[in-house]
Structure 1
């Protein structure tokens, strides 16, 4: 029997996640908002991930478990869970994070109440490998301006872990982006394109628990991407051709005419992009001069 499509799809791409997977599944299934399905894409895991997922799916009809025959890379697996969804809203989750029971409900209330918001997320607490709270992720980035050029400037001038991409999103907005298209900086570009499409609203409560530990993918990616790590993200990509800031900014410039209909606003976006590039170039030059 085909169940009706729920308003929310939660997407879980996972590879060898046995250590934290059960805690994440309990966190998701314990949400006070219950009208969702949980789509899992197992990227050919070699540990107990498949066993854990099948055990939960046997008891929980909201879980849709899929397993790839071979590892397709982290970025393509992230896209796969979204491609398998058909709901109005989409919330990607990582196997090693956790959520307050009110997270999904409160994010959905904001999205339902304000059509101009395309992503809603909460403030973030940081937990360690044992689940202990070790601090708050305190980065203020205001992306609620009605003007795309102001939002993009905030996104590009703030250093953070793309926490917004762990929020609840409008599926039609995410589909308008290039999602995780398998190029260097693709997560930042997805975030950039979402900010062109609408506001990103942060809840004032700390409802998202982001796990940071030595082997966490997020920690590794933000410590400097090696070619080996990039091949893990997408083994089919020629990263030698794409591993440059030039390619990242080229993608930013190409996104503007595709997603911003107003010619005047497009020009403002281009000005802001040039401003950011100039600022970063000046800072880089100053660093080089200090070290020489």
Structure 2
């Protein structure tokens, strides 16, 4: 299919002329960032703007980034003089983006050369889309690589609540299936979505994005990421939020999603369905938490009993 022609939109969108902003937030990534930047610059889509947002790094990140920017005029380097926080660095990094589309990249990520162009092709084929994800290969802490194909179509629906419910289902099923924060996004719809510094904000943002419009997906491994999950208390420290919130993270997450449902254009019937989806997610997570605590208590009890293991 000619990528310059829409299938569902009926208009023409030549992809080669589209400026794409690739946004790279970093803090103390001197030993990692060059590889990530080089994989972006190696894209077969040439019209790129690479925005590096340095969150007051205290290692050699600034020197590495300034050297990269001197060697390629597609790179724009900005440095915060003070630590503005993890989420703020992600959000502010997008502010100078000039591209119609943009993509976040982590400082230890690597993109395949066709990552941007394949996503642009999906946008060209369907102008309803606000986001296009790709399959991602994750390097786990033990060095193994995992990648799980996503084959569902719920996120392509014209019904915002169908998309919302599907996103919540995927969040409960596996974090490896779809990662909307590291897909190619249409910049204008994103600008209308507020973000709140909180635990599991990435999941809340994904749910808000699902309500914003249909998503596309390229079922090929076009991105590589390191997966280093941390405990909720540790993530709270990184975000600068009170540690007690780790104990009620699911409750606060669901409350934020319910609040957002009253700010988007939905019918009352759609809001009812969406609220039901949030409740279902909350109950499933509570069951998982209860089962995990039960196993932990059983293990402790077995160790207290003479002869227990």
| TM-score, shorter chain, exceeding 0.5 | yes
Residue number in structure 1 paired with 2:236: 230
Would you say 1:151 and 2:157 are equivalent positions?
no
Determine if contact 1:164/1:191 at 8 Å carries over to the other structure: yes
Give the C-alpha shift of residue 232 in structure 1: 2.0
Give the C-alpha shift of residue 268 in structure 1: 1.7
Which string of whole-angstrom CA distances, capped at 9 and with x for unpartnered residues, describes residues 171-206 of structure 1?
122112223x21122111110100111222221111
Give the C-alpha shift of residue 6 in structure 1: 6.1
Residue number in structure 1 paired with 2:146: 136
> Which sections of structure 1, spanning at least 5 residues, go unmatched?
213-218
CA 1:65–1:284 in 2, change beyond 3 Å: closer, same or farther? Answer: closer
CA 1:43–1:6 in 2, change beyond 3 Å: closer, same or farther? Answer: farther
Name the TM-score, length of structure 2 as normaliser: 0.80
Residue number in structure 2 paired with 1:103: 115
Residue number in structure 2 paired with 1:169: 185
Would you say 1:204 and 2:210 are equivalent positions?
no
Give the C-alpha shift of residue 231 in structure 1: 2.9
CA 1:204–1:94 in 2, change beyond 3 Å: closer, same or farther? Answer: same
Separation of aligned partners in 1, 2:53 and 2:18: 18
Would you say 1:87 and 2:96 are equivalent positions?
no
Separation of aligned partners in 2, 1:283 and 1:17: 35
Out of 224, 229, 243, the position equivalent to 1:220 is: 229
Separation of aligned partners in 1, 2:236 and 2:124: 37
Name the TM-score, length of structure 1 as normaliser: 0.84
Separation of aligned partners in 1, 2:76 and 2:220: 30
Determine if contact 2:200/2:253 at 8 Å carries over to the other structure: yes
Out of 60, 69, 72, the position equivalent to 1:57 is: 69
Give the C-alpha shift of residue 81 in structure 1: 0.6
Q: 1:1-292 to 2 correspondence within 5 Å?
A: 7-127=19-139, 134-138=144-148, 140=150, 142=152, 143-158=155-170, 159-160=174-175, 163-179=179-195, 181-212=196-227, 219-221=228-230, 224-226=231-233, 228-233=234-239, 235=240, 237-238=241-242, 240=244, 244=248, 245-285=250-290
> Which sections of structure 2, spanning at least 5 residues, go unmatched?
1-16, 299-309
Q: Give the alignment's Cα RMSD to 1 decimal.
A: 2.6
Determine if contact 2:251/2:282 at 8 Å carries over to the other structure: no
Separation of aligned partners in 2, 1:6 and 1:116: 17
Give the C-alpha shift of residue 145 in structure 1: 2.5
Give the C-alpha shift of residue 41 in structure 1: 0.8
Give the C-alpha shift of residue 288 in structure 1: 5.5
Number of residue pairs matched?
274
State which structure, 1 or 2, has the greater radius of gyration over its C-alpha atoms. 2
